[in-house]
Structure 1
Amino acid sequence: MMSKQTMAIFFKRIMDIFFSVVGFLMTAPIMLVVAVCIKLEDGGPILFVQTRTGKDGKLFSIYKFRSMKVESRQQNEYGKGWEEGVPDAFIFKECSSENPCITRVGAFIRRTSIDELPQFFNVMIGNMSLVGPRPEIPEITCYYSKEQKKRLRVKPGLTGWAQVNGRSSITNGEKMQMDYHYVDNHSIRMDMYILVLTVKVVLTFKGAV
Protein backbone atom coordinates (compact mmCIF):
# COMPACT_ATOMS: atom_id res chain seq x y z
CA MET A 1 0.00 0.00 0.00
CA MET A 2 1.35 3.42 -0.99
CA SER A 3 2.21 5.92 1.72
CA LYS A 4 0.48 9.30 1.84
CA GLN A 5 3.60 11.01 0.47
CA THR A 6 3.96 8.49 -2.37
CA MET A 7 0.32 8.93 -3.31
CA ALA A 8 0.72 12.71 -3.33
CA ILE A 9 3.73 12.43 -5.66
CA PHE A 10 1.81 10.00 -7.89
CA PHE A 11 -1.25 12.24 -8.19
CA LYS A 12 0.91 15.32 -8.77
CA ARG A 13 2.61 13.53 -11.66
CA ILE A 14 -0.75 12.46 -13.11
CA MET A 15 -1.94 16.07 -12.86
CA ASP A 16 1.26 17.29 -14.52
CA ILE A 17 0.87 14.91 -17.45
CA PHE A 18 -2.83 15.62 -17.94
CA PHE A 19 -2.67 19.41 -17.75
CA SER A 20 0.57 19.71 -19.71
CA VAL A 21 -0.90 17.66 -22.56
CA VAL A 22 -4.12 19.69 -22.46
CA GLY A 23 -2.16 22.93 -22.24
CA PHE A 24 0.09 21.92 -25.13
CA LEU A 25 -2.86 21.02 -27.35
CA MET A 26 -4.81 24.17 -26.46
CA THR A 27 -1.87 26.48 -27.12
CA ALA A 28 -0.53 24.62 -30.17
CA PRO A 29 -2.09 27.10 -32.64
CA ILE A 30 -0.55 30.01 -30.71
CA MET A 31 2.83 28.30 -30.62
CA LEU A 32 2.68 27.63 -34.35
CA VAL A 33 1.99 31.31 -35.10
CA VAL A 34 4.77 32.39 -32.73
CA ALA A 35 7.22 29.95 -34.30
CA VAL A 36 6.47 31.32 -37.78
CA CYS A 37 6.81 34.93 -36.57
CA ILE A 38 10.16 34.25 -34.91
CA LYS A 39 11.47 32.58 -38.05
CA LEU A 40 10.20 35.36 -40.32
CA GLU A 41 11.68 38.15 -38.21
CA ASP A 42 15.34 37.20 -38.46
CA GLY A 43 15.56 33.63 -39.74
CA GLY A 44 17.17 32.37 -36.55
CA PRO A 45 16.31 29.34 -34.41
CA ILE A 46 12.80 29.20 -32.98
CA LEU A 47 13.69 27.72 -29.62
CA PHE A 48 16.13 28.82 -26.95
CA VAL A 49 17.58 25.90 -24.99
CA GLN A 50 19.35 26.54 -21.71
CA THR A 51 20.73 24.40 -18.89
CA ARG A 52 18.89 24.80 -15.59
CA THR A 53 19.14 23.16 -12.17
CA GLY A 54 16.34 20.75 -11.31
CA LYS A 55 15.30 18.58 -8.40
CA ASP A 56 18.18 17.47 -6.16
CA GLY A 57 20.58 19.58 -8.23
CA LYS A 58 20.18 17.53 -11.41
CA LEU A 59 20.80 19.58 -14.55
CA PHE A 60 18.38 19.55 -17.46
CA SER A 61 17.62 21.47 -20.66
CA ILE A 62 14.75 23.96 -20.50
CA TYR A 63 12.91 25.05 -23.65
CA LYS A 64 11.67 28.54 -24.41
CA PHE A 65 10.75 30.46 -27.53
CA ARG A 66 13.75 32.55 -28.53
CA SER A 67 13.20 36.21 -27.70
CA MET A 68 16.74 37.54 -28.10
CA LYS A 69 18.54 38.42 -31.29
CA VAL A 70 20.77 35.66 -32.64
CA GLU A 71 23.94 37.71 -32.29
CA SER A 72 23.19 38.70 -28.69
CA ARG A 73 25.39 37.11 -26.07
CA GLN A 74 24.83 37.97 -22.43
CA GLN A 75 27.97 38.18 -20.36
CA ASN A 76 26.71 37.78 -16.83
CA GLU A 77 29.07 37.42 -13.90
CA TYR A 78 27.78 35.91 -10.70
CA GLY A 79 29.36 34.83 -7.46
CA LYS A 80 31.62 37.76 -6.62
CA GLY A 81 31.68 37.82 -2.84
CA TRP A 82 28.98 35.15 -2.57
CA GLU A 83 30.65 33.17 0.20
CA GLU A 84 27.49 32.59 2.24
CA GLY A 85 24.98 31.85 -0.49
CA VAL A 86 23.21 34.02 -3.05
CA PRO A 87 22.55 37.45 -1.45
CA ASP A 88 18.97 38.26 -0.46
CA ALA A 89 19.15 41.55 -2.35
CA PHE A 90 20.13 39.90 -5.62
CA ILE A 91 17.59 40.16 -8.46
CA PHE A 92 18.20 37.96 -11.48
CA LYS A 93 16.77 39.42 -14.66
CA GLU A 94 17.53 38.61 -18.23
CA CYS A 95 17.48 41.69 -20.44
CA SER A 96 14.08 43.36 -20.37
CA SER A 97 11.65 43.68 -23.27
CA GLU A 98 12.84 47.27 -23.81
CA ASN A 99 16.45 46.16 -24.31
CA PRO A 100 17.77 46.29 -27.91
CA CYS A 101 18.95 42.68 -27.61
CA ILE A 102 15.28 41.62 -27.63
CA THR A 103 13.51 41.09 -30.94
CA ARG A 104 10.12 42.68 -31.68
CA VAL A 105 8.42 39.30 -31.44
CA GLY A 106 10.49 38.57 -28.34
CA ALA A 107 9.25 41.68 -26.53
CA PHE A 108 5.66 40.56 -27.03
CA ILE A 109 6.10 36.92 -26.06
CA ARG A 110 8.05 37.88 -22.93
CA ARG A 111 5.40 40.34 -21.79
CA THR A 112 2.65 37.79 -22.33
CA SER A 113 4.72 34.82 -21.03
CA ILE A 114 4.15 33.01 -24.33
CA ASP A 115 7.90 32.36 -24.48
CA GLU A 116 7.44 29.84 -21.65
CA LEU A 117 4.86 27.66 -23.46
CA PRO A 118 7.42 25.13 -24.81
CA GLN A 119 8.01 24.14 -21.17
CA PHE A 120 4.83 22.08 -21.35
CA PHE A 121 7.19 19.58 -23.00
CA ASN A 122 9.53 19.76 -19.99
CA VAL A 123 6.57 18.94 -17.77
CA MET A 124 5.47 16.05 -20.01
CA ILE A 125 8.87 14.35 -19.91
CA GLY A 126 9.17 14.83 -16.16
CA ASN A 127 12.09 17.16 -15.49
CA MET A 128 9.66 19.93 -14.51
CA SER A 129 6.27 20.14 -12.84
CA LEU A 130 3.42 22.52 -13.55
CA VAL A 131 3.95 24.10 -10.13
CA GLY A 132 7.17 24.49 -8.19
CA PRO A 133 10.09 26.87 -7.70
CA ARG A 134 11.25 28.28 -11.03
CA PRO A 135 14.45 26.54 -12.21
CA GLU A 136 17.56 28.65 -11.79
CA ILE A 137 20.73 28.56 -13.88
CA PRO A 138 23.61 26.46 -12.46
CA GLU A 139 25.88 29.51 -12.45
CA ILE A 140 23.73 30.76 -9.59
CA THR A 141 22.67 27.54 -7.85
CA CYS A 142 26.30 26.50 -7.44
CA TYR A 143 26.53 29.31 -4.85
CA TYR A 144 23.46 28.22 -2.88
CA SER A 145 23.89 27.94 0.86
CA LYS A 146 22.70 24.81 2.65
CA GLU A 147 19.40 26.53 3.43
CA GLN A 148 18.93 27.78 -0.12
CA LYS A 149 19.36 24.26 -1.47
CA LYS A 150 16.04 23.49 0.21
CA ARG A 151 14.23 24.83 -2.87
CA LEU A 152 15.83 22.02 -4.89
CA ARG A 153 13.99 19.32 -2.92
CA VAL A 154 11.04 19.44 -5.33
CA LYS A 155 10.78 19.58 -9.10
CA PRO A 156 11.01 23.08 -10.58
CA GLY A 157 7.78 24.45 -11.98
CA LEU A 158 6.36 26.21 -14.97
CA THR A 159 4.83 28.53 -12.38
CA GLY A 160 5.15 28.80 -8.62
CA TRP A 161 4.21 30.56 -5.40
CA ALA A 162 6.83 33.25 -6.03
CA GLN A 163 5.60 33.78 -9.59
CA VAL A 164 2.06 34.61 -8.45
CA ASN A 165 3.43 36.92 -5.77
CA GLY A 166 5.77 39.15 -7.73
CA ARG A 167 7.43 37.23 -10.57
CA SER A 168 10.54 39.11 -11.72
CA SER A 169 9.98 42.13 -9.47
CA ILE A 170 11.00 40.43 -6.21
CA THR A 171 14.45 39.96 -4.69
CA ASN A 172 16.22 36.65 -4.23
CA GLY A 173 15.50 36.72 -0.50
CA GLU A 174 11.77 37.24 -1.06
CA LYS A 175 11.71 34.53 -3.72
CA MET A 176 13.54 32.09 -1.45
CA GLN A 177 11.09 32.59 1.42
CA MET A 178 8.16 31.95 -0.91
CA ASP A 179 9.83 28.87 -2.35
CA TYR A 180 10.56 27.52 1.15
CA HIS A 181 6.89 28.04 1.96
CA TYR A 182 5.93 26.01 -1.10
CA VAL A 183 8.39 23.19 -0.34
CA ASP A 184 7.03 22.92 3.21
CA ASN A 185 3.33 23.19 2.36
CA HIS A 186 2.76 22.04 -1.21
CA SER A 187 -0.30 19.96 -1.97
CA ILE A 188 -2.63 19.29 -4.90
CA ARG A 189 -5.00 21.93 -3.54
CA MET A 190 -2.20 24.50 -3.29
CA ASP A 191 -1.04 23.65 -6.82
CA MET A 192 -4.54 24.19 -8.20
CA TYR A 193 -4.76 27.52 -6.37
CA ILE A 194 -1.43 28.64 -7.82
CA LEU A 195 -2.50 27.63 -11.33
CA VAL A 196 -5.65 29.75 -11.02
CA LEU A 197 -3.63 32.73 -9.75
CA THR A 198 -1.13 32.24 -12.58
CA VAL A 199 -3.85 32.86 -15.17
CA LYS A 200 -4.70 36.14 -13.44
CA VAL A 201 -1.04 37.21 -13.20
CA VAL A 202 -0.34 36.40 -16.86
CA LEU A 203 -3.45 38.22 -18.10
CA THR A 204 -2.54 41.35 -16.13
CA PHE A 205 1.18 41.19 -17.11
CA LYS A 206 2.08 41.59 -13.42
CA GLY A 207 5.85 41.44 -12.90
CA ALA A 208 6.52 40.66 -16.56
CA VAL A 209 9.84 41.59 -18.15
Structure 2
Amino acid sequence: MYVKRFLDFVMAFFLLVLLSPLLLLVSVVVYLNFGFPVLFRQQRPGLHGQSFVMFKFRSMRNDIDTEGNLLANELRMTRFSQWLRSTSLDELPTLWNVLKGDMSLVGPRPLLVEYLPLYTHRQGRRHEVKPGVTGWAQVNGRNAITWEEKFELDVWYVDHRSLGLDLHILMLTLRKVLRREGIAHAGDVSMPRFRGSSHE
Protein backbone atom coordinates (compact mmCIF):
# COMPACT_ATOMS: atom_id res chain seq x y z
CA MET A 1 0.00 0.00 0.00
CA TYR A 2 2.76 2.45 0.93
CA VAL A 3 4.68 1.67 -2.26
CA LYS A 4 1.57 2.27 -4.36
CA ARG A 5 0.88 5.58 -2.58
CA PHE A 6 4.48 6.70 -3.13
CA LEU A 7 4.32 5.83 -6.84
CA ASP A 8 0.92 7.53 -7.17
CA PHE A 9 2.30 10.72 -5.62
CA VAL A 10 5.48 10.78 -7.70
CA MET A 11 3.72 10.00 -10.99
CA ALA A 12 0.87 12.46 -10.37
CA PHE A 13 3.34 15.22 -9.47
CA PHE A 14 5.45 14.47 -12.54
CA LEU A 15 2.42 14.41 -14.84
CA LEU A 16 0.98 17.64 -13.43
CA VAL A 17 4.30 19.41 -14.05
CA LEU A 18 4.80 17.85 -17.47
CA LEU A 19 1.23 18.53 -18.60
CA SER A 20 0.90 22.00 -17.03
CA PRO A 21 0.97 23.76 -20.45
CA LEU A 22 -1.77 21.42 -21.70
CA LEU A 23 -3.80 21.97 -18.51
CA LEU A 24 -3.56 25.73 -19.03
CA LEU A 25 -4.54 25.43 -22.69
CA VAL A 26 -7.55 23.22 -21.94
CA SER A 27 -8.60 25.62 -19.16
CA VAL A 28 -8.64 28.52 -21.62
CA VAL A 29 -10.59 26.54 -24.23
CA VAL A 30 -13.12 25.34 -21.63
CA TYR A 31 -13.59 28.95 -20.48
CA LEU A 32 -14.14 30.13 -24.06
CA ASN A 33 -16.78 27.44 -24.56
CA PHE A 34 -18.54 27.38 -21.18
CA GLY A 35 -17.30 30.34 -19.15
CA PHE A 36 -16.66 30.04 -15.42
CA PRO A 37 -16.24 27.82 -13.53
CA VAL A 38 -13.68 25.97 -15.62
CA LEU A 39 -13.54 23.05 -13.20
CA PHE A 40 -16.38 20.70 -12.35
CA ARG A 41 -16.42 19.75 -8.66
CA GLN A 42 -18.53 16.96 -7.23
CA GLN A 43 -18.65 14.81 -4.09
CA ARG A 44 -17.68 11.23 -4.92
CA PRO A 45 -17.26 8.18 -2.65
CA GLY A 46 -13.69 7.07 -2.07
CA LEU A 47 -12.03 4.44 0.10
CA HIS A 48 -14.62 2.75 2.36
CA GLY A 49 -17.28 5.01 0.85
CA GLN A 50 -15.89 8.19 2.45
CA SER A 51 -16.69 11.14 0.20
CA PHE A 52 -14.22 13.60 -1.28
CA VAL A 53 -14.41 16.41 -3.85
CA MET A 54 -13.36 15.22 -7.30
CA PHE A 55 -12.12 17.68 -9.91
CA LYS A 56 -12.63 17.50 -13.67
CA PHE A 57 -12.79 20.00 -16.49
CA ARG A 58 -16.33 21.14 -17.22
CA SER A 59 -17.70 19.39 -20.28
CA MET A 60 -21.32 20.62 -20.39
CA ARG A 61 -23.24 23.87 -20.44
CA ASN A 62 -25.32 24.84 -17.39
CA ASP A 63 -28.57 25.23 -19.34
CA ILE A 64 -31.73 25.11 -17.17
CA ASP A 65 -35.46 24.78 -17.80
CA THR A 66 -38.18 27.27 -16.81
CA GLU A 67 -38.22 25.85 -13.27
CA GLY A 68 -34.49 26.26 -12.78
CA ASN A 69 -33.58 22.58 -13.18
CA LEU A 70 -30.61 21.49 -15.26
CA LEU A 71 -31.56 20.11 -18.66
CA ALA A 72 -30.75 16.50 -19.57
CA ASN A 73 -27.09 15.79 -20.29
CA GLU A 74 -27.62 15.27 -24.01
CA LEU A 75 -29.18 18.75 -24.27
CA ARG A 76 -26.21 20.39 -22.55
CA MET A 77 -23.55 18.60 -24.56
CA THR A 78 -21.82 20.30 -27.49
CA ARG A 79 -19.44 19.09 -30.17
CA PHE A 80 -16.61 20.38 -27.99
CA SER A 81 -18.04 18.41 -25.04
CA GLN A 82 -17.90 15.21 -27.06
CA TRP A 83 -14.34 15.89 -28.19
CA LEU A 84 -13.18 16.73 -24.65
CA ARG A 85 -14.62 13.49 -23.28
CA SER A 86 -13.46 11.32 -26.17
CA THR A 87 -9.87 12.46 -25.64
CA SER A 88 -10.23 12.05 -21.82
CA LEU A 89 -8.72 15.53 -21.39
CA ASP A 90 -11.58 16.36 -19.01
CA GLU A 91 -10.04 13.83 -16.59
CA LEU A 92 -6.66 15.59 -16.23
CA PRO A 93 -7.59 17.55 -13.06
CA THR A 94 -8.18 14.26 -11.23
CA LEU A 95 -4.39 14.03 -11.02
CA TRP A 96 -4.73 16.61 -8.25
CA ASN A 97 -6.97 14.14 -6.39
CA VAL A 98 -4.24 11.52 -6.78
CA LEU A 99 -1.64 13.95 -5.44
CA LYS A 100 -3.86 14.69 -2.41
CA GLY A 101 -4.40 11.00 -1.73
CA ASP A 102 -8.15 10.91 -2.43
CA MET A 103 -7.59 8.70 -5.47
CA SER A 104 -5.04 6.38 -7.00
CA LEU A 105 -3.92 6.29 -10.61
CA VAL A 106 -5.51 2.83 -10.88
CA GLY A 107 -8.66 1.61 -9.15
CA PRO A 108 -12.44 1.44 -9.60
CA ARG A 109 -13.76 4.71 -10.99
CA PRO A 110 -15.44 6.96 -8.37
CA LEU A 111 -19.15 7.09 -9.15
CA LEU A 112 -22.00 9.06 -7.57
CA VAL A 113 -22.58 9.17 -3.80
CA GLU A 114 -26.26 8.43 -4.40
CA TYR A 115 -25.34 5.00 -5.79
CA LEU A 116 -23.93 3.79 -2.45
CA PRO A 117 -27.20 2.38 -1.03
CA LEU A 118 -28.01 0.73 -4.39
CA TYR A 119 -25.01 -1.62 -4.47
CA THR A 120 -25.28 -5.27 -3.55
CA HIS A 121 -22.80 -6.41 -0.90
CA ARG A 122 -20.49 -7.74 -3.62
CA GLN A 123 -20.70 -4.58 -5.71
CA GLY A 124 -19.93 -2.49 -2.64
CA ARG A 125 -16.55 -4.22 -2.34
CA ARG A 126 -15.29 -1.86 -5.06
CA HIS A 127 -14.79 0.63 -2.20
CA GLU A 128 -12.26 -1.60 -0.44
CA VAL A 129 -9.56 0.24 -2.40
CA LYS A 130 -9.10 3.87 -3.41
CA PRO A 131 -10.90 4.89 -6.60
CA GLY A 132 -8.75 5.42 -9.65
CA VAL A 133 -8.30 7.72 -12.61
CA THR A 134 -8.43 4.54 -14.67
CA GLY A 135 -9.20 0.95 -13.81
CA TRP A 136 -9.76 -2.62 -14.94
CA ALA A 137 -13.33 -1.84 -16.02
CA GLN A 138 -12.11 1.16 -18.05
CA VAL A 139 -9.74 -0.95 -20.14
CA ASN A 140 -12.31 -3.74 -20.54
CA GLY A 141 -15.23 -1.84 -21.98
CA ARG A 142 -15.45 1.48 -20.14
CA ASN A 143 -18.98 2.83 -20.77
CA ALA A 144 -19.83 0.29 -23.49
CA ILE A 145 -20.56 -2.46 -20.93
CA THR A 146 -23.38 -2.84 -18.39
CA TRP A 147 -23.18 -1.65 -14.80
CA GLU A 148 -23.16 -5.26 -13.58
CA GLU A 149 -20.23 -6.12 -15.86
CA LYS A 150 -18.41 -3.00 -14.74
CA PHE A 151 -18.83 -3.85 -11.05
CA GLU A 152 -17.69 -7.45 -11.57
CA LEU A 153 -14.52 -6.13 -13.19
CA ASP A 154 -14.03 -3.71 -10.28
CA VAL A 155 -14.35 -6.53 -7.72
CA TRP A 156 -11.98 -8.68 -9.78
CA TYR A 157 -9.43 -5.87 -9.55
CA VAL A 158 -9.89 -5.61 -5.78
CA ASP A 159 -9.14 -9.34 -5.43
CA HIS A 160 -6.17 -9.39 -7.84
CA ARG A 161 -4.59 -5.97 -7.45
CA SER A 162 -0.82 -5.68 -7.70
CA LEU A 163 1.74 -3.19 -8.95
CA GLY A 164 2.24 -5.35 -12.04
CA LEU A 165 -1.48 -5.29 -12.81
CA ASP A 166 -1.57 -1.51 -12.28
CA LEU A 167 1.24 -1.04 -14.78
CA HIS A 168 -0.58 -3.27 -17.26
CA ILE A 169 -3.77 -1.24 -16.83
CA LEU A 170 -1.92 2.04 -17.34
CA MET A 171 -0.44 0.75 -20.59
CA LEU A 172 -3.86 -0.45 -21.80
CA THR A 173 -5.39 2.90 -20.80
CA LEU A 174 -3.01 4.78 -23.07
CA ARG A 175 -4.05 2.58 -25.98
CA LYS A 176 -7.76 2.98 -25.17
CA VAL A 177 -7.44 6.77 -24.97
CA LEU A 178 -5.60 6.97 -28.29
CA ARG A 179 -8.26 4.79 -29.93
CA ARG A 180 -11.11 6.61 -28.12
CA GLU A 181 -12.88 3.34 -27.33
CA GLY A 182 -15.90 2.80 -25.05
CA ILE A 183 -16.68 6.49 -24.56
CA ALA A 184 -20.46 6.06 -24.42
CA HIS A 185 -23.06 3.42 -23.74
CA ALA A 186 -25.43 2.47 -26.56
CA GLY A 187 -28.21 5.05 -26.77
CA ASP A 188 -26.63 7.45 -24.24
CA VAL A 189 -24.09 10.28 -24.34
CA SER A 190 -22.02 8.57 -21.64
CA MET A 191 -23.53 6.00 -19.26
CA PRO A 192 -27.17 5.70 -18.09
CA ARG A 193 -27.79 6.19 -14.38
CA PHE A 194 -27.41 3.17 -12.14
CA ARG A 195 -30.79 2.16 -10.71
CA GLY A 196 -29.64 -0.84 -8.71
CA SER A 197 -29.30 -4.51 -9.61
CA SER A 198 -32.23 -6.91 -9.56
CA HIS A 199 -30.26 -9.61 -7.76
CA GLU A 200 -27.76 -9.93 -4.91
The structural deviation recorded for 1:147 is 1.5
Q: Distance in 2 between matches of 1:158 and 1:139?
A: 20
Match of residue 25 from structure 2: 33
Given the two structures, how large is their TM-score scaled by the length of structure 1? Answer: 0.82
Cα distance change on mapping 1:124 and 1:74 into 2, 3 Å: farther
The aligned runs of 1:149-164 (5 Å cut-off) are 149-164=124-139
Match of residue 46 from structure 2: 54
Match of residue 188 from structure 2: none
Selected match of 2:90 from 104, 115, 135: 115
Identity %: 42
Match of residue 121 from structure 2: 146
Q: CA offsets per residue over residues 95-124 of structure 1, 9 Å max, x none?
A: 4xxx33113432211010000000000000
User: Per chain length, whose mean CA-contact separation is higher, i.e. which structure has more relative contact order (CA < 8 Å, sep 6+)?
Assistant: 1
User: How many residue pairs get matched?
Assistant: 179
Gapped runs of 5+ residues in structure 1?
A: 1-8, 76-94
Match of residue 193 from structure 2: none
Q: Which moved more, 1:149-158 or 1:43-52?
A: 43-52
Gapped runs of 5+ residues in structure 2?
A: 65-69, 185-200
Task: For 2:36, give the aligned amino acid.
Answer: G
Q: Indicate the SS of the match to 1:100.
A: helix
Q: Does 1:187 align with 2:179?
A: no
- The answer on whether the counterparts of 1:123 and 1:130 sit within 8 Å (CA) in structure 2 is yes
Task: For 1:114, give the aligned amino acid.
Answer: L
Q: Distance in 2 between matches of 1:151 and 1:42?
A: 34
Q: CA offsets per residue over residues 17-66 of structure 1, 9 Å max, x none?
A: 01111111222111111111111124231000111111101011110100
Q: Which moved more, 1:166-175 or 1:139-148?
A: 139-148
